[in-house]
Amino acid sequence: MMHTTKTALLLVAVALSASCAVSSPQPDFGLEELWDNLNKTGQVILDGLANATKNGTAITGEFLDGVKNATAQYSHETVEFAHKIAQALHRAATEGIADFSSDLRSVIEQLRGAINQVRNVVKRKALKDALAALQTVNATVADLEAAVENLNDRLEEEKEKYAAEIQEKWSNWADAQLDRVDQETNGVGNQEAEEILDELVSRYSGYLQSCVEELQVRQGIYEQNVHRAIVKYHNATNNVSAQIELCLQSPLGILSCRSGINQALSGLKTAPAELLSLKLQGLRLLAVGLDAGGCVGQTLEEHELEKPSVERKLDEIIQDYLNQQNASDDDSSSEEDSTTEDVSDLQGSSSPDDDDSSSEEGSTTEDVSDLQGDDTTKSE
C-alpha cells in the first residue's frame, strides 16, 4: 500500500503544481474539494497523536490501532483522490485544447473576412502574416489534440488488455491449484488453500495497480505540460486577436498597426515547435505504454518466481491431511487389535472352570466306585 500511496501523492503534487502554475483562461480543475477532504483525513492522524501524547499520556494499543485505521483510510482516500486528479488533469488538457482550437478557428475566419476589406498594402501584409502564423499554430494544435485523445484511449485499451490477460492466466493457475487441493484432501484443505491463493492474487494485483498509477503519474505530468503550453499560447492568440481588432477598428497608423501585430505574433513564435514536441512526447509515452520502466514485466516475473513457493505450501496442506488420515487409520487398527486380544483373554479364562468340572466328575466317579465296593463286601 505504501507504493500505491507514494504514486498517488506524486499525482497530488502534479495537480498542485498545475493549479498554481497556469493563468486564465483555465478550465476548472475541481481540486478544492479534493484538498479539503484529503486534509480532513490527514488531520485525524495528527489530532490523535496530539491527544495521545498530551500530558505524557502513554500511547496505548487502542490508540495505535486508531492511527493504523486512520492511516489506512488516508491511503485509500489518497488513491481515490489521485484517480480523480488524473481525470481532472486529462479533462483540463483536452478541454483546454478544444477551447484553444475553437478560438483559433474563429479568429482565422474573422481575419480572412477582414483582409478582403483592407485596401492598404502594408496593413494587408501585416494581417496576412498574422493569418499565416495562426493557421500554422492551428494545424499543430489539431495534431496535438488528436494525439492527446489517442494517447488516453490507447492507454485505457492497453490497461484493459493487460488486465484481461493477467486475470485469465492467474485465475487458471489458481483454479488448477485449488482443484488439486480439493481432490487430494476431499475438500478439507480448501479454505486454507483459498486464503493462500487469495493473498497472492491480492498482493500482486496491488503491485500491478502501482504500475498503473506510475503510468498515471507520467500521463499526468505530460498532460500538465500540454495544458501549460495551451494556456500560454491561448493567451498569446488572444493578444494577437485583440491587436488585429485594434488595427481594424481604431485609427492607428499603418506602421503602428503592423508593429502591434508583429509584437503580438512574437508570443506565438515558438508555438509550432513546442506543440509538435509535445505531440512526439505523447507518441513516445504511448510506445512505452503500461510497461514503462519494466514495472509490469517485473511484477509478472516475480509472480512466476513465487508460484513454486505457494505450491509447496499447498503441498504441505495436502501432506498434513494425508498424515492425519494415516494416523486415523493406525488408531483404527490399534483398536481392532485390542478387541481381538480381549476376546482371546475371555476364552482363556474359561479353561480353569473346565478343569474344576473334570475334577468334580472324577471325584464323583470314585465315590460311586467306593460304594459299589462296599456292597460287594457285604454280599460276601
H or E, element range at 153: helix 121-185
Among 116, 79, 75, smallest CA distance to 213 is for: 79
Residue 220, Cβ density class (10 Å: 0-12 exposed, 13-18 middle, ≥19 buried): buried
**pLDDT (0 to 100) of residue 212:** 82
Domains of the chain, start order: 92-314 (1.20.1410)
Tell me if residue 359 falls in helix, strand or coil: helix
pLDDT in tens, 145-171: 999 999 988 888 888 888 888 888 899
pLDDT in tens, 37-71: 544 544 444 444 444 444 444 444 454 455 445 44
Tell me if residue 350 falls in helix, strand or coil: coil
Are 212 and 7 in contact by the 8 Å Cβ rule? The answer is no
Omega cis (within 30) before 25: yes
One-letter amino acid identity for 379? S
Q: Name the percent of the chain lying above pLDDT 70.
A: 63
Residue with cell 460276601: 380
Highest mean pLDDT among 22-26, 49-53, 196-200: 196-200
Q: What is the signed CA dihedral for 359, 364, 368, 374, rounded to 10 degrees? A: 80
Are 111 and 211 in contact by the 8 Å Cβ rule? The answer is no
Angle between helices 61-115 and 190-249 (to 10 degrees): 30
Residue with cell 465296593: 373
Are 121 and 252 in contact by the 8 Å Cβ rule? The answer is no
What's the gap between Cα 158 and its chain centre? 15
What is the CB-side half-sphere exposure of residue 146 using CA atoms within 13 A?
Answer: 6
pLDDT in tens, 244-287: 998 888 776 788 888 999 999 999 999 999 999 999 999 998 88
Largest CA distance in the chain: 190
